[in-house]
Amino acid sequence: MAHEYDLVILGGGTGGYVAAIRASQLGLKTAIVEKGKLGGTCLHKGCIPSKALLRSAEVYATAKRAEDFGVITSDVSVDFTKVQERKHNIINVLHKGVQHLMKQGKIDVYEGLGRILGPSIFSPMPGTISVEMNNGEENEMLIPKNVIIATGSRPRSLPELHIDGEYVLSSDEALEMETLPKSIIIVGGGVIGIEWASMLSDFGVEVTVIEYADRIIPTEDHEISKEMQRLLKKRKIKLVTGARVLPETLVRDNGVRISAEVKGAIKEFLAEKMLVSVGRQANTEGIGLENTEIQIDKGFIVTNEFFQTKESHIYAIGDVIGGLQLAHVASHEGITAVEHIAGKNPSALNYQLISRCIYSSPEVSSVGMTEEQAITNGHKVKVGKFSFRAIGKALVYGQSDGFVKIIADEETNDLLGVHMIGPHVTDMISEAGLAMVLDAVPWEIAGTIHPHPTLSEAIGEAALAVDGNAIHG
């Protein structure tokens, strides 16, 4: 049977389901096609499960040092089955929430695999969607005026490091581990790799990170990387940078053994398991792109700033178009695409104003340019830095490592970037994000009186420090 829609969205992850809600608000008759579960990677295999595990690891690590707070505990141990149960419960609550939102918005959800067809009896343009239903019923045919492709991404591996789920894992399998390994090699020291390194180490796993670049979290400001490196090493996490893994040397036998070329020398690494976190690959296969004029570049769908593909009625958003592969980016791309479809004349997203977070211990967050990028872009910079060591609330928390760094243009005073490493900084970055959106200058941030005692005082002090006026520094 054929069903007509104003908009059909292929993929019900964060990008897809948020786009559907916005479309419903704007009065578009909307359907989502989802082959797995509504909520996609972020809810089931990404943001939420990883943060649930990180939180359990943090509680365990804190409980082990409870004595520092004057709290006497007897034996503290981890029940990993319970940890996983807690994670699943959180996912279930949120999954039900998304399902409810679809009902509330009168959004039709087709559970099945969607595929874009070429011109057909239904439409002279490509874009009809055929859905192979999960329940085995006859294919549904959806005839939309517009389509949004939001099929997301999946873990990438390296040739010869194929994921076997037993010895070599991607984040998908690692999230479902039933027991903790004694030791693990993490290939890739980017955001996902470092979150796992921090979490597993807090759970008592012996962790070795092998990173190709000369520093971990290489997309962050160099001082943030350096501080993270120092703090992880202090926790006995082995960090091997400037290292090229030699996948052909991998032996899977009662654990894993692999060699890497590290600054000219060959070194061997052994562990019970290996986690490969070397990036994500867009889901562009099997969705019928060959029936369209849609272009692909380096594996990602190409769009304009309003997320239209070469077929102007077919849009693409989220991880499948690459760039910043983050949930909040996917959802805002979805909102922009829908508003464009609805003729609302939205502004293009400014990616410089999007905050990025790492939920390790300590946390990292940033918005805008790193110091290196600012200099490369021709700015003469001035930098204000303020350590959490001088922040009362950080001492109260028992987490005083890290700092806030603010970069401004020396001539214009413009705010160029804000970078933080330390306690709860992922919850503090939105102040900096708002300052960037409102084009604030450092003294305006400093003039926003930060309540005492709070961790956010570090932002106010760093803003003062840009012109050498920090009070407690």
Ligand X SMILES: Cc1cc2nc3c(=O)[nH]c(=O)nc-3n(C[C@H](O)[C@H](O)[C@H](O)COP(=O)(O)OP(=O)(O)OC[C@H]3O[C@@H](n4cnc5c(N)ncnc54)[C@H](O)[C@@H]3O)c2cc1C
Residues annotated catalytic, as ranges: 452
327 binds ligand X (CB under 6 A): yes
Q: Give which of 191, 180, 192, 184 is closest to 168, Cα–Cα.
A: 184
User: Residue 19 CB, nearest distance to ligand X (Å)?
Assistant: 9
Contact track, ligand X, 282-321, x by CB under 6 A: -x---x------------------------------xxx-
Q: How many residues interact with ligand X (rule CB under 6 A)?
A: 37
228 binds ligand X (CB under 6 A): no
Residues forming beta bridges with residue 245, ordered by sequence position: 260
328 binds ligand X (CB under 6 A): yes
- Per CB under 6 A, the list member of 22, 23, 24, 40 interacting with ligand X is 40
462 binds ligand X (CB under 6 A): no
| Helix, strand, coil fractions of the chain, as percent rounded to 5 | 35, 25, 40
- Per CB under 6 A, the list member of 34, 211, 221, 339 interacting with ligand X is 34
User: Residue 274 CB, nearest distance to ligand X (Å)?
Assistant: 16
| Order of all β-strands in the sheet with 265-271 | 243-252, 256-262, 265-271
> Rounded to an integer, what distance in angstroms lies between the CA atom of residue 197 and that of residue 415?
32
> Rounded to an integer, what distance in angstroms lies between the CA atom of residue 383 and that of residue 209?
31
- Per CB under 6 A, the list member of 192, 240, 369, 459 interacting with ligand X is 192
- Per CB under 6 A, the list member of 8, 14, 157, 423 interacting with ligand X is 14
- Per CB under 6 A, the list member of 23, 84, 114, 169 interacting with ligand X is 114
Nearer residue to ligand X within complex by CB, 399 or 426:
426
The full 3-state SS of 358-377, as one line of letters, equals: ECCCCEEEEEECCHHHHHHC
Q: Give which of 269, 21, 233, 33 is closest to 149, Cα–Cα.
A: 33
Q: 68-89: b or e for each residue (b if 16 or more CB lie within 10 Å)?
A: eeeeeeeeeebeeeebbeebee
- Per CB under 6 A, the list member of 325, 361, 365, 400 interacting with ligand X is 325
13 binds ligand X (CB under 6 A): yes
Q: Which stretch binds ligand X (CB under 6 A): 95-103, 144-152, 182-190, 302-310?
A: 144-152
User: Residue 46 CB, nearest distance to ligand X (Å)?
Assistant: 3
User: Residue 473 CB, nearest distance to ligand X (Å)?
Assistant: 31
User: How many helices and strands, by DSSP H and E, does the chain display?
Assistant: 13, 23
Nearer residue to ligand X within complex by CB, 170 or 400:
170
Q: How far apart are the first and last CA of the chain?
A: 70
Contacts 24+ apart (CB under 8 A), 442-449: 442/384, 442/406, 442/408, 442/413, 442/415, 442/466, 442/467, 443/413, 443/467, 445/406, 445/415
Question: What part of residues 239-268 is at the interface with ligand X (CB under 6 A)?
Answer: none
Footprint on this chain of ligand X (rule: CB under 6 A) = 10-16, 33-36, 40-42, 45-47, 50, 113-114, 150-153, 171, 192, 283, 287, 318-320, 325-328, 330, 359
